[in-house]
Amino acid sequence: MERNIKAIIQDMTLEEKAGMCSGKDFWRLKSIERLGIPEVMVSDGPHGMRKQAEQGDHLGINDSIEAVCFPTACATACSFDRDLLKEMGTAIGNECQAENLSVILGPAVNIKRSPLCGRNFEYFSEDPYLAGQMASAHIQGVQSQGIGTSLKHFAANNQEYRRMTCSSEVSEQALREIYLAAFETPVKEAQPKTVMCSYNKINGTFASEDPWLLTKVLRDEWGFEGYVVSDWGAVNDRVEALKAGLELEMPASNGTNDKKIVEAVKNGTLSEDVLDRAVERILRVIFDYVDHKKEAIWDKDEDHKLAQRIEEESAILLKNDGILPICPEKKAALIGLFAEKPRFQGGGSSHINSYKVSSAVKEASAFANVVYAQGYDIKEDKIDEQLLQEAVEAARQSEYAIVFAGLPDSFESEGYDRSHMRLPNCQNHLIEEIIKVQPNTVVVLHNGSPVEMPWADQVRGILEMYLGGQAVGAAAVNLLYGKANPCGKLAETIPYHLEDNPSYLNFPGDGKKVFYQEGIYVGYRYYDKKKMPVRYPFGYGLSYTTFEYKDLKLDKESMKDTDKLIVSVTVKNTGDRAGKEIVELYVSSPNQAVRPVRELKNFAKVLLQPGEEKEITMELEKRSFAEYNEELHDWYVPSGTYTVSIGRSSREMELEACVQIESTTVLPITINANTTVGDLMRNPKTAEFIMTQMKKIQEVLGGEEKEESDVAKEAVSDEMNQAMMDSMPLRALRSFNGLDNEALEELVKQLKEIQ
Ligand code: BGC
């Protein structure tokens, strides 16, 4: 149905229009009956519905309706599976249809700058390409059901400490390449109905009132068509926010900010057109939902099963020296409270009231020979001698010990950051005591962000479940016993120590500002450049089968930066069980002095039966090779030879091929007496001229060529000569080549003319 939204707006009073720009209460937008504008409700996500029936709050305090908690983003990102994320989004969208929710808030796509961010469990990755791809798929899934999403928290919201006032001080390059890039792809590819601006400031300006962020970048450059909603309570100055491009304020401001909008229009400080445009954007999303409303049936049990499958395809097998999968006949001691009551989601606004939770103990007991011992408590981090001894005994009397460890709720949550990267001491101690009596020990982890693993070399297997949703118990059991084959890979690096992390010296800042000093060297971009040993690298994960890579082909040897490059590679399952492999494609820039060793630019996931092989094709385009150039304020691909690598992780390259790329962009060059000869020689416009001039200068001033003595040759090599010339400013030609001031001025003048 075609709606004449502009006509509706014309019929609205100024007060009604201002009122439309803020919520009715915590979760609902306002209705205007006489104009047929219905009341619609939004609700938290991202990994399931948190529809609050009664009193609203944004911290997960009051109960919401019973729903299904899917695995959180820290887990699902490790699936590297766009189709899976889409499937999850579709199921969530369908649930929202059934429950009359117009928008489900999420996905959250902020980059994991530090392992300490309390909200890392809700975020996808340290890598913007992966985060962007996962978010796009999630959005496409939800929105395929006629439900809107809210891509959040835009932008540079990478910590919880003082999140409502702190300023993230980030270079333009790091913002573009790392922090904004994670939002850019989902906006361009999946067009979320709404984007949620973050609480924090960016380089001194609140995200909620930053016209550069909310209008220039988001709308003018990326083509965003929906409305921007404030994070709950993120509005600082309502009128400035509206002008900058923030349409909807949530939750309700009790009418005070609506009045400010009315006043501003009346006193001429806010154009009514800006208000009309905001209302139009909000109404379009409301009616898009209303006009696509459909009957939906929500089957909780089906969604629970899906949550389990998603988790099985997301969990990461970090270590296996042949101990896994376990044979069900052999007696295994399942140890640790999380074996019985898993930690499967994080605290705060994304907290879901799960209608059921699967327990590993119960699931395994159905078919395997197991005993259970609690081992530790999570109320406080204290060694409970009795629980410890019971667990050690159970381990001693079994053939295997499987310790379910992880972070309790109090260790990580929305609202505050972690202060260290360790598991509770009582859990580390338990693992150490178990290892002493049981050599066949496996650790299963439930955590939203990496933990240090001091026992990693002494256990025989490690399975990382992250916060795996309400079906995590069943998923863990299926993976441990080989009913499912692990196929996730890490979406973030697990460093040995917190101190290794590139943000360590600048996290979380002094509360007023946090300096992103590491620039673009976030996560593996840093660890790999520093060749720093890490516990497990980005992109790493094992399977119960093995894969071989061969026949890497590029469809071109050379190309312009505007061309596309098709990359193909064959993957073969060389083991004896079916499995899925994630094929990671990395690109290395020739500009190694200032670039990461390599960066993830595409990936594919493929299911292979034993002995089966398939050719995978992936595409690369200008952005796959580009760096953000702060002089151009744009993306730029320096000419040169780029290496395309296929890896099992960011550290294990299997195949490599090269492509020669010619840039179609000429970098601007500022010409004055301090411009270097090297820059002039590299610039296509000035290269020939400067070469001729240099020759002339040499001829006129250099005199007869003299045979250099051996000592002179030793002192000044050709390489040194070349390097000196390359970085020599024009003015130095006076000192070293005898040019007088007049000649120098003339040279600069001529160069300016031909530029
Ligand atoms: C969180 C958002 C959430 C909102 C509504 C805020 O505190 O940062 O992610 O969507 O509350 O609950």
Q: Tell me the pLDDT band of 507, cut-offs 50, 70 and 90.
A: very high
Q: How many CA atoms lie within 13 A of 589 on its CB side?
A: 24
In a domain, 289, yes or no: no
For 65, 134, 464, 633, the CA distances from 345, given in Å and listed in that order, are 16, 19, 14, 40
In sequence order, the 6+-apart residues with CB closer than 8 A to the CB of 178 are 111, 128, 520, 522
- Let me know whether 229 and 338 are in one domain: yes
Taking 90 as the threshold, does the pLDDT of residue 697 lie above it?
A: no
135 closest CA partner among 180, 82, 196: 82
80 closest CA partner among 607, 442, 570: 607
How far apart are the CA of 292 and the centre of ligand 1, in A? 26
Taking 60 as the threshold, does the pLDDT of residue 704 lie above it?
A: no
Taking 80 as the threshold, does the pLDDT of residue 157 lie above it?
A: yes
- Minimal-distance CA residue to ligand 1 atom 3: 349
- Let me know whether 587 and 716 are in one domain: no
Ligand 1 pocket test, candidate residues 41, 44, 198, most atoms within 8 A of CB: 44
Ligand 1 pocket test, candidate residues 28, 58, 163, 199, most atoms within 8 A of CB: 58
Mean per-residue pLDDT for 553-557?
98
Three-state DSSP class for 470?
Answer: coil
Higher pLDDT, 184 or 2: 184
- Let me know whether 82 and 226 are in one domain: yes
In a domain, 22, yes or no: no
Tens of pLDDT, residue by residue over 368-385, are 999 999 999 999 999 999
Residue 512 sits in a domain whose CATH number is: 3.20.20.300
Tally the domains of the chain. Answer: 3
In a domain, 185, yes or no: yes
Mean per-residue pLDDT for 691-699?
84
Which domain-ending residue is among 543, 571, 588?
543
- For position 56, what pLDDT does the model report? 64
In a domain, 334, yes or no: yes
Residues linked to residue 660 through DSSP beta bridges, in sequence order: 558, 641
- Let me know whether 309 and 385 are in one domain: yes
Residues linked to residue 37 through DSSP beta bridges, in sequence order: 32
CA distance 423 to 185: 35
Residue 634 sits in a domain whose CATH number is: 2.60.40.10
- Let me know whether 87 and 227 are in one domain: yes
SS3 content of the chain, % helix, strand, coil (to 5): 35, 20, 45
How far apart are the CA of 58 and the centre of ligand 1, in A? 6
Mean per-residue pLDDT for 276-285?
98
Q: How confident is the prediction for the chain on average, in pLDDT?
A: 95
94: region left, alpha or beta (phi > 0 left; psi from -120 to 50 alpha): alpha
- Let me know whether 333 and 437 are in one domain: yes
Give yes or no for a contact between 472 and 299, defined as CB atoms under 8 angstroms apart: no
Taking 70 as the threshold, does the pLDDT of residue 714 lie above it?
A: yes
Give yes or no for a contact between 94 and 70, defined as CB atoms under 8 angstroms apart: no
Q: Which of 185-199, 264-278, 345-359, 706-720 has the lowest mean pLDDT?
A: 706-720
- For position 60, what pLDDT does the model report? 63
- For position 711, what pLDDT does the model report? 72
Higher pLDDT, 709 or 352: 352
Mean per-residue pLDDT for 571-582?
98
Number of H helices, E strands in the chain: 25, 27
Higher pLDDT, 495 or 1: 495
Q: Tell me the pLDDT band of 722, cut-offs 50, 70 and 90.
A: confident
- For position 703, what pLDDT does the model report? 53
- Let me know whether 51 and 171 are in one domain: yes
In a domain, 402, yes or no: yes
- Minimal-distance CA residue to ligand 1 atom 8: 231
Atom number of ligand 1 nearest to Cα 58: 12
Taking 60 as the threshold, does the pLDDT of residue 705 lie above it?
A: no
Mean per-residue pLDDT for 317-334?
98
Structure tokens at 230: 């404030």
- Give the Cα-Cα-Cα angle 365, 366, 370 (nearest 5 degrees): 20
How far apart are the CA of 133 and the centre of ligand 1, in A? 22
- Let me know whether 625 and 722 are in one domain: no
Q: Tell me the pLDDT band of 716, cut-offs 50, 70 and 90.
A: confident
CA distance 138 to 604: 16
Taking 70 as the threshold, does the pLDDT of residue 702 lie above it?
A: no
**Residue bearing tokens 């969530």:** 92
Atom number of ligand 1 nearest to Cα 106: 10
Phi and psi dihedrals of 415, rounded to 5?
Answer: 100, -30
Q: How many CA atoms lie within 13 A of 115 on its CB side?
A: 27
Mean per-residue pLDDT for 9-25?
97
- For position 718, what pLDDT does the model report? 79
Please count the other Cβ atoms lying within 10 Å of the Cβ belonging to residue 708.
Answer: 11
Provide the H-helix boundaries in 599-661: 622-625
Give the strands of the sheet with 42-44, arranged side by side. Answer: 42-44, 103-108, 148-154, 194-197, 227-230
- Minimal-distance CA residue to ligand 1 atom 5: 58
For 173, 423, 514, 522, 750, the CA distances from 169, given in Å and listed in that order, are 12, 31, 6, 15, 41
Mean per-residue pLDDT for 194-208?
98
Phi and psi dihedrals of 576, rounded to 5?
Answer: -115, 15
- Let me know whether 354 and 486 are in one domain: yes
Structure tokens at 685: 């416009």
Specify the pairing of strand 599-608 against strand 194-197: unpaired
Which domain-ending residue is among 500, 519, 543?
543
Mean per-residue pLDDT for 687-714?
75
Higher pLDDT, 667 or 493: 493
- For position 726, what pLDDT does the model report? 87
- Let me know whether 247 and 371 are in one domain: yes
Give yes or no for a contact between 447 and 466, defined as CB atoms under 8 angstroms apart: yes
How far apart are the CA of 417 and the centre of ligand 1, in A? 16
Q: Which residues line ligand 1 (CB under 6 A)?
A: 44, 58, 105, 152-153, 231-232, 349
- Which percentage of the chain shows pLDDT scores above 70? 97
- For position 67, what pLDDT does the model report? 96
Distance in angstroms between the alpha carbons of the first and the last residue of the chain: 56
Give the torsion through C-alpha atoms of 362, 367, 373, 377, to 10 deg: -30
Residue type, 235: V
In a domain, 288, yes or no: no
Tens of pLDDT, residue by residue over 54-93, are 566 666 666 789 999 999 999 999 999 999 999 999 999 9
- For position 167, what pLDDT does the model report? 98
Return the beta strands (E) in 495-621 as ranges: 513-515, 547-554, 558-560, 565-573, 579-588, 599-608, 613-620
Tens of pLDDT, residue by residue over 397-453, are 999 999 999 999 999 999 999 999 999 999 999 999 999 999 999 999 999 999 999
Structure tokens at 326: 């376990």
In a domain, 686, yes or no: yes
Phi and psi dihedrals of 62, rounded to 5?
Answer: -85, 150
- Minimal-distance CA residue to ligand 1 atom 6: 232
- Let me know whether 413 and 554 are in one domain: no
- Minimal-distance CA residue to ligand 1 atom 9: 349
Tens of pLDDT, residue by residue over 257-271, are 999 999 999 999 999
In a domain, 308, yes or no: yes
Which residues are catalytic, by number?
A: 231
How far apart are the CA of 73 and the centre of ligand 1, in A? 15
- Let me know whether 375 and 473 are in one domain: yes
How far apart are the CA of 105 and the centre of ligand 1, in A? 8
Residue type, 597: V
Mean per-residue pLDDT for 605-625?
98
- For position 724, what pLDDT does the model report? 81
Please count the other Cβ atoms lying within 10 Å of the Cβ belonging to residue 704.
Answer: 4
Which domain-ending residue is among 510, 526, 543?
543
**Domain enclosing residue 715, as ranges:** 677-754
